[in-house]
A = this chain, B = another copy of it.
Amino acid sequence: MAAKRYGPHDWIVAAMAALAEGGIEAVRIEKLARRLNTSKGSFYWHFADRPALLTAVLDFWEAEGTSLVISSADTIENPAERMRAVVDAALIATEQGIDVARTESALRAWAAEEPVVAQRIARVDERRIAYLAEILELTGYDSTSAKRLGTGIYFALLGLYDVRRYAPPLAVDHAFHALVKGIVTSAPQK
Protein backbone atom coordinates (compact mmCIF):
# COMPACT_ATOMS: atom_id res chain seq x y z
CA MET A 1 0.00 0.00 0.00
CA ALA A 2 2.44 2.69 -1.03
CA ALA A 3 3.68 3.20 2.51
CA LYS A 4 4.39 6.90 2.38
CA ARG A 5 7.08 8.58 4.39
CA TYR A 6 6.18 10.63 7.44
CA GLY A 7 8.13 13.16 9.45
CA PRO A 8 7.31 14.58 12.88
CA HIS A 9 5.24 17.34 11.33
CA ASP A 10 2.86 14.84 9.76
CA TRP A 11 2.26 13.21 13.08
CA ILE A 12 1.60 16.56 14.68
CA VAL A 13 -0.90 17.53 12.03
CA ALA A 14 -2.66 14.20 12.35
CA ALA A 15 -2.71 14.63 16.11
CA MET A 16 -4.23 18.10 15.77
CA ALA A 17 -6.95 16.70 13.56
CA ALA A 18 -7.68 13.92 16.02
CA LEU A 19 -7.69 16.42 18.87
CA ALA A 20 -10.23 18.62 17.13
CA GLU A 21 -12.44 15.66 16.33
CA GLY A 22 -12.42 13.65 19.51
CA GLY A 23 -10.52 15.53 22.18
CA ILE A 24 -7.16 14.67 23.64
CA GLU A 25 -8.33 11.16 24.47
CA ALA A 26 -8.68 10.49 20.77
CA VAL A 27 -5.02 11.20 20.17
CA ARG A 28 -3.78 7.61 20.26
CA ILE A 29 -0.55 6.57 18.66
CA GLU A 30 -1.86 3.35 17.18
CA LYS A 31 -4.96 5.13 15.92
CA LEU A 32 -2.90 7.81 14.23
CA ALA A 33 -0.65 5.17 12.73
CA ARG A 34 -3.64 3.40 11.22
CA ARG A 35 -5.02 6.65 9.88
CA LEU A 36 -1.68 7.53 8.33
CA ASN A 37 -1.39 4.00 7.04
CA THR A 38 1.87 3.41 8.80
CA SER A 39 2.92 1.83 12.08
CA LYS A 40 3.95 2.65 15.62
CA GLY A 41 7.53 1.93 14.66
CA SER A 42 7.54 5.13 12.65
CA PHE A 43 6.11 7.14 15.48
CA TYR A 44 8.58 5.96 18.07
CA TRP A 45 11.37 6.76 15.72
CA HIS A 46 10.38 10.43 15.61
CA PHE A 47 9.06 10.86 19.15
CA ALA A 48 10.14 9.57 22.51
CA ASP A 49 6.61 8.79 23.65
CA ARG A 50 3.05 10.06 23.67
CA PRO A 51 3.72 13.02 25.98
CA ALA A 52 6.38 14.19 23.56
CA LEU A 53 3.82 14.27 20.78
CA LEU A 54 1.32 16.14 22.93
CA THR A 55 3.93 18.70 23.85
CA ALA A 56 4.73 19.14 20.19
CA VAL A 57 1.05 19.65 19.49
CA LEU A 58 0.90 22.38 22.09
CA ASP A 59 3.99 24.03 20.65
CA PHE A 60 2.47 23.91 17.21
CA TRP A 61 -0.78 25.42 18.35
CA GLU A 62 0.89 28.14 20.34
CA ALA A 63 3.12 29.09 17.44
CA GLU A 64 0.53 28.92 14.68
CA GLY A 65 -2.69 29.90 16.33
CA THR A 66 -1.73 32.67 18.65
CA SER A 67 -0.23 35.40 16.59
CA LEU A 68 -2.57 35.25 13.63
CA VAL A 69 -5.66 36.70 15.23
CA ILE A 70 -3.81 39.44 16.95
CA SER A 71 -1.49 40.61 14.25
CA SER A 72 -4.04 40.69 11.47
CA ALA A 73 -5.93 43.70 12.76
CA ASP A 74 -3.06 45.73 14.10
CA THR A 75 -3.07 48.20 11.25
CA ILE A 76 -6.65 49.38 11.71
CA GLU A 77 -6.88 52.72 13.44
CA ASN A 78 -10.52 53.04 14.39
CA PRO A 79 -10.99 50.96 17.54
CA ALA A 80 -14.54 49.89 16.72
CA GLU A 81 -13.50 48.63 13.30
CA ARG A 82 -10.45 47.03 14.78
CA MET A 83 -12.53 45.15 17.32
CA ARG A 84 -14.80 44.07 14.53
CA ALA A 85 -11.84 42.73 12.57
CA VAL A 86 -10.52 40.82 15.56
CA VAL A 87 -13.90 39.30 16.23
CA ASP A 88 -14.31 38.33 12.61
CA ALA A 89 -10.91 36.71 12.68
CA ALA A 90 -11.77 34.78 15.81
CA LEU A 91 -14.98 33.51 14.30
CA ILE A 92 -13.56 32.07 11.11
CA ALA A 93 -14.28 28.40 10.86
CA THR A 94 -10.99 26.87 9.88
CA GLU A 95 -7.36 27.89 9.77
CA GLN A 96 -4.88 25.89 7.75
CA GLY A 97 -7.43 23.13 7.46
CA ILE A 98 -7.89 22.92 11.21
CA ASP A 99 -11.20 23.66 12.86
CA VAL A 100 -10.41 26.56 15.16
CA ALA A 101 -13.38 26.29 17.47
CA ARG A 102 -13.10 22.56 17.98
CA THR A 103 -9.39 22.83 18.58
CA GLU A 104 -9.66 25.63 21.09
CA SER A 105 -12.48 23.88 22.88
CA ALA A 106 -10.75 20.51 22.98
CA LEU A 107 -7.57 22.17 24.17
CA ARG A 108 -9.36 23.62 27.17
CA ALA A 109 -11.04 20.38 28.05
CA TRP A 110 -7.57 18.90 28.04
CA ALA A 111 -6.21 21.73 30.15
CA ALA A 112 -8.73 20.89 32.82
CA GLU A 113 -6.88 17.67 33.53
CA GLU A 114 -3.28 18.62 32.85
CA PRO A 115 -1.86 21.48 34.90
CA VAL A 116 1.07 21.95 32.54
CA VAL A 117 -1.32 22.42 29.65
CA ALA A 118 -3.47 24.70 31.74
CA GLN A 119 -0.53 27.00 32.40
CA ARG A 120 0.40 27.35 28.78
CA ILE A 121 -3.15 27.97 27.63
CA ALA A 122 -3.67 30.46 30.41
CA ARG A 123 -0.69 32.43 29.17
CA VAL A 124 -2.18 32.65 25.72
CA ASP A 125 -5.51 33.65 27.22
CA GLU A 126 -3.85 36.46 29.12
CA ARG A 127 -2.27 37.87 25.99
CA ARG A 128 -5.53 37.73 24.08
CA ILE A 129 -7.50 39.30 26.88
CA ALA A 130 -4.92 42.06 27.22
CA TYR A 131 -5.26 42.74 23.52
CA LEU A 132 -9.03 42.98 23.75
CA ALA A 133 -8.72 45.27 26.76
CA GLU A 134 -6.29 47.43 24.84
CA ILE A 135 -8.82 47.98 22.08
CA LEU A 136 -11.60 48.66 24.55
CA GLU A 137 -9.50 51.31 26.20
CA LEU A 138 -9.21 53.04 22.86
CA THR A 139 -12.99 53.11 22.59
CA GLY A 140 -13.20 55.10 25.80
CA TYR A 141 -13.30 52.67 28.70
CA ASP A 142 -11.07 53.14 31.68
CA SER A 143 -8.39 50.56 32.27
CA THR A 144 -10.29 48.53 34.84
CA SER A 145 -13.52 48.33 32.89
CA ALA A 146 -11.66 47.52 29.71
CA LYS A 147 -9.88 44.63 31.38
CA ARG A 148 -13.11 43.26 32.78
CA LEU A 149 -15.13 43.63 29.64
CA GLY A 150 -12.31 42.22 27.55
CA THR A 151 -12.25 39.20 29.80
CA GLY A 152 -16.03 38.90 29.54
CA ILE A 153 -15.92 39.03 25.76
CA TYR A 154 -13.22 36.39 25.76
CA PHE A 155 -15.35 34.17 28.00
CA ALA A 156 -18.14 34.51 25.48
CA LEU A 157 -15.83 33.51 22.66
CA LEU A 158 -14.75 30.39 24.51
CA GLY A 159 -18.36 29.54 25.26
CA LEU A 160 -19.23 29.99 21.63
CA TYR A 161 -16.42 27.63 20.70
CA ASP A 162 -17.79 25.03 23.10
CA VAL A 163 -21.32 25.26 21.81
CA ARG A 164 -20.13 25.08 18.24
CA ARG A 165 -18.78 21.65 19.01
CA TYR A 166 -21.90 20.06 20.35
CA ALA A 167 -24.78 22.22 19.18
CA PRO A 168 -23.92 24.24 16.07
CA PRO A 169 -27.49 25.54 15.65
CA LEU A 170 -27.25 27.24 19.03
CA ALA A 171 -23.84 28.71 18.31
CA VAL A 172 -24.96 31.73 16.36
CA ASP A 173 -22.16 34.14 15.60
CA HIS A 174 -24.69 36.93 15.60
CA ALA A 175 -25.14 36.55 19.35
CA PHE A 176 -21.46 37.11 19.90
CA HIS A 177 -21.38 40.01 17.50
CA ALA A 178 -24.34 41.60 19.24
CA LEU A 179 -22.62 41.27 22.57
CA VAL A 180 -19.41 42.87 21.40
CA LYS A 181 -21.21 45.59 19.50
CA GLY A 182 -23.23 46.43 22.58
CA ILE A 183 -20.08 46.78 24.64
CA VAL A 184 -18.27 48.87 22.06
CA THR A 185 -21.10 51.26 21.27
CA SER A 186 -21.97 51.92 24.88
CA ALA A 187 -18.44 52.96 25.73
CA PRO A 188 -18.22 56.22 27.64
CA GLN A 189 -17.35 59.25 25.52
CA LYS A 190 -13.97 60.59 26.32
| Residues of chain A having any CB pair with chain B under 8 Å | 22-23, 25-26, 102, 105-106, 108-109, 111-113, 117-118, 121-122, 125-126, 129, 145, 147-160, 162-163, 165-167, 169-170, 172, 174-176, 178-179, 182-183, 186
Contacts and interface: CB of A to CB of B under 8 A. Distances in A.
Q: Is the interface of A mostly helix, strand, loop or mixed?
A: helix
This chain: how many copies in the complex? Answer: 2
25 contacts: A102-B112, A105-B109, A105-B112, A108-B162, A109-B112, A111-B165, A112-B165, A122-B167, A122-B170, A145-B178, A147-B175, A148-B172, A148-B174, A149-B178, A149-B179, A151-B170, A154-B159, A155-B156, A155-B179, A156-B156, A156-B159, A158-B162, A159-B162, A162-B162, A182-B186
Nearest to A157: B159
Nearest to A154: B159
A175 B151 contact: yes
A113 B106 CA distance: 10
A160 B178 CA distance: 19
A148 B163 CA distance: 14
A122 B159 contact: no
Contacts of A126: 170
